[in-house]
């Protein structure tokens, strides 16, 4: 392999190097190891503990966990189950989606992302060909002629190089490897950013998850057991202006939107307790180069609408494993045509979901966030239709199972012992 003279010490060689231990990277790492492939997952953090990440595990992902044999272990994780979504629009309660009766799963599970990632890591570690290296940040791609042949890594012991027959970038929306590959996603824009914070939840509070929509303001509340996880929307770029004002402004707004929370807004102790998600919607035109595949947020950042980010990242990982596990296990070169097939399979569902999200952002959220706009309300015909549970199951099915749901078809070996 042609490497620069000043190359970092070689760490090792692996068949597949997965960069990023998020939902996409951990599911792919597990599925490849399960198929007997030597796989190394690099994660730049020391653990999976990160607050306010995607915590919504949809029925499509619950099905995948069943297919991997982790359904029962997942069900034992502390979680809340959301069966219905509703909204309070202009002061009027409106049921929107109803997951009850959908098969095989009639709910969305709310689980801290680190619990899901630890579960996946634990399952993957049972396979001798799996390796997870924490505090290993990929810094650059290694090229061999026209092919990607590994990554340079910052490790606690200094710079290292890992050579690999295939590198899969699962390093999220700010992907280092995407930039290193010279791939630039097309940005579709978003009219809002989201501020995340928690408030205590008390007996007698409303159940499940619901949105509150008023002229100029919008907030979504997710039932996390003893707490509400609140997503408060601000117009794009409005975060800095809001943070420059006293915290009381946010507290008062939250109390006005959800009067039942007025007695506990002091629980938002300071601005550090409020985490901003800068909403991005983007997509790469090309998800691969010879020796390199990008999936999950690295290939397509999703709007938070529908909470589909984790679930689509996991679907990408399943599709990648379905296409690549057997050829990787067989040895021999990995043809770029195989990587292109993964993009072809996943791009269509991603495009469709993004199109719906962009339409909702433009037609609904941008209008609501205009303080001078008309008071938000649903058309009477839609309100009437949503009065039927069968109709409310349609958005639930679309959000919960999506389009072209993936199923695990990669080969499975038994873990030793
Ligand atoms: C505040 C917030 C709230 C969200 N809420 C939701 C939600 O409710 N529901 C939902 O479905 N989605 C939500 N999302 C989006 C969701 O988290 C992502 O879509 C999903 O996690 C994407 O998975 P991924 O594996 O592609 O990337 P990520 O989850 O971003 O994982 C990337 C991983 O790569 C690691 N990494 C990055 N660079 C390197 C490097 N150079 N070397 C090694 N490791 C690296 C990171 O530390 C990270 O662990 C939210 C996102 C944020 C930021």
pLDDT of 19 reads 98
Residue at which a domain ends, from 277, 305, 338: 277
Q: Tell me, what CATH number does 134's domain have? A: 3.50.50.60
Pair (124, 246) in one structural domain: no
pTM of the model: 0.94
* Packing angle, helices 309-330 and 23-34, rounded to 10: 30
Residues with CB under 6 A from ligand 1: 19-25, 42-45, 52-56, 137-138, 170-172, 176, 196, 275, 277, 296-298, 302, 304, 307-311, 313
Pair (139, 46) in one structural domain: yes
Q: What separation in Å is there between the alpha carbon of 175 and the centre of ligand 1?
A: 10
CA–CA distance, 316 with 321 (Å, rounded to integer):
9
Pair (245, 199) in one structural domain: yes
**Quick one: which H or E segment has residue 68?**
helix 59-68
Q: What separation in Å is there between the alpha carbon of 297 and the centre of ligand 1?
A: 7
CA–CA distance, 375 with 355 (Å, rounded to integer):
25
Residue % of the chain over a pLDDT of 70: 97
Q: Let me know if residue 4 belongs to a domain.
A: yes
Pair (175, 242) in one structural domain: no
Residue at which a domain ends, from 277, 295, 330: 277
| Phi, then psi, of 9 in degrees rounded to 5 | -55, 140
Q: Can you spell out the DSSP letters for 361-404? A: IIIIIHHHH-TTSPPP---HHHHHHTTSHHHHHHHHHHHHH-SS
Q: Are 333 and 316 in contact (CB under 8 A)?
A: no
Q: Let me know if residue 132 belongs to a domain.
A: yes
Could you tell me the pLDDT band of residue 51, with boundaries at 50, 70 and 90? low
> 154 lies in which domain range?
1-52+113-187+281-359
Pair (290, 345) in one structural domain: yes
Q: Which of 81-90, 115-124, 284-293 has the lowest mean pLDDT?
A: 81-90
pLDDT of 52 reads 65
Residue at which a domain ends, from 325, 359, 393: 359
Could you tell me the pLDDT band of residue 231, with boundaries at 50, 70 and 90? very high
pLDDT, tens digit (0-9, with 9 covering 90-100), for 242-269? 999 999 999 999 999 999 999 999 999 9
Residue 371, pLDDT > 80, answer no
Q: Which of 11-15, 236-240, 370-374 has the lowest mean pLDDT?
A: 370-374
Residue 3, pLDDT > 70, answer no
Pair (3, 122) in one structural domain: yes
Q: What separation in Å is there between the alpha carbon of 303 and the centre of ligand 1?
A: 13
Report the residue among 45, 53, 131 best suited for mutation to probe ligand 1: largest number of ligand atoms under 8 A from its CB. Answer: 53
Q: Let me know if residue 164 belongs to a domain.
A: yes
Q: What integer is the mean pLDDT of 60-82?
A: 96
CA–CA distance, 338 with 221 (Å, rounded to integer):
42
CA–CA distance, 209 with 211 (Å, rounded to integer):
7
Q: Are 151 and 140 in contact (CB under 8 A)?
A: yes
> In whole angstroms, how far apart are CA 148 and each of 162, 165, 229?
12, 8, 41
Q: What integer is the mean pLDDT of 353-381?
A: 87
Q: What integer is the mean pLDDT of 173-199?
A: 96
Pair (117, 43) in one structural domain: yes
Q: Let me know if residue 414 belongs to a domain.
A: no
Instruction: Report the number of distinct structural domains present in the chain.
Output: 2
pLDDT, tens digit (0-9, with 9 covering 90-100), for 104-149? 999 999 999 999 999 999 999 999 999 999 999 999 999 999 999 9
Pair (241, 300) in one structural domain: no
Secondary structure E strands in 207-314: 209-214, 217-223, 227-235, 275-277, 282-283, 288-289, 292-294
């Amino acid at each position: 392999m042609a490497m620069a003279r000043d190359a970092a010490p070689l760490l090792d060689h692996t068949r597949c190097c997965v960069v990023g231990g998020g939902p996409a990277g951990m599911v792919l790492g597990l599925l490849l190891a399960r198929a007997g492939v030597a796989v190394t997952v690099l994660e730049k953090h020391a653990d999976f503990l990160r607050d306010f990440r995607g915590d919504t595990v949809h029925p499509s992902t619950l099905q995948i966990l069943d297919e991997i044999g982790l359904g029962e272990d997942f069900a034992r994780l502390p979680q809340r189950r959301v069966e219905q979504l509703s909204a309070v629009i202009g002061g009027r309660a409106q049921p929107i989606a109803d997951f009850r009766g959908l098969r095989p799963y009639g709910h969305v599970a709310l689980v801290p992302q680190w619990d899901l990632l630890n579960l996946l890591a634990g399952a993957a570690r049972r396979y001798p060909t799996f390796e997870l290296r924490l505090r290993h940040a990929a810094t650059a791609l290694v090229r061999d002629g026209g092919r990607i042949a590994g990554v340079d890594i910052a490790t606690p012991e200094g710079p290292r190089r890992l050579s690999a027959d295939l590198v899969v970038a699962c390093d999220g929306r700010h992907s280092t490897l995407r930039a290193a590959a010279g791939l630039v996603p097309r940005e579709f824009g978003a009219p809002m950013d989201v501020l995340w914070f928690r408030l205590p939840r008390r007996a007698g509070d409303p159940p499940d998850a619901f949105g509150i929509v008023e002229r100029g303001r919008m907030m979504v509340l997710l039932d996390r057991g003893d707490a509400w996880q609140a997503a408060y929307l601000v117009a794009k770029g409005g975060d800095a202006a809001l943070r420059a004002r006293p915290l009381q402004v946010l507290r008062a707004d939250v109390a006005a939107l959800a009067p039942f929370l007025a007695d506990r807004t002091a629980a938002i102790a300071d601005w550090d307790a409020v985490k901003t998600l800068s909403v991005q919607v983007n997509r790469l035109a090309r998800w691969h180069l010879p020796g390199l595949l990008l999936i999950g947020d690295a290939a397509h950042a999703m709007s938070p609408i529908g909470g589909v980010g984790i679930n689509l990242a996991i679907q990408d990982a399943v599709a990648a494993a379905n296409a690549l596990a057997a050829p990787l296990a067989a040895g021999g070169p990995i043809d770029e045509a195989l990587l292109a097939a993964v993009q072809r399979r996943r791009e269509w569902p991603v495009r469709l979901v993004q199109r719906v999200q962009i339409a909702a952002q433009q037609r609904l959220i941008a209008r609501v966030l205009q303080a001078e706009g008309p008071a938000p309300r649903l058309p009477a015909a839609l309100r009437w239709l949503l009065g039927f549970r069968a109709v409310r199951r349609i958005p639930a099915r679309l959000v919960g199972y999506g389009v072209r749901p993936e199923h695990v078809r990669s080969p499975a070996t038994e873990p030793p012992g």
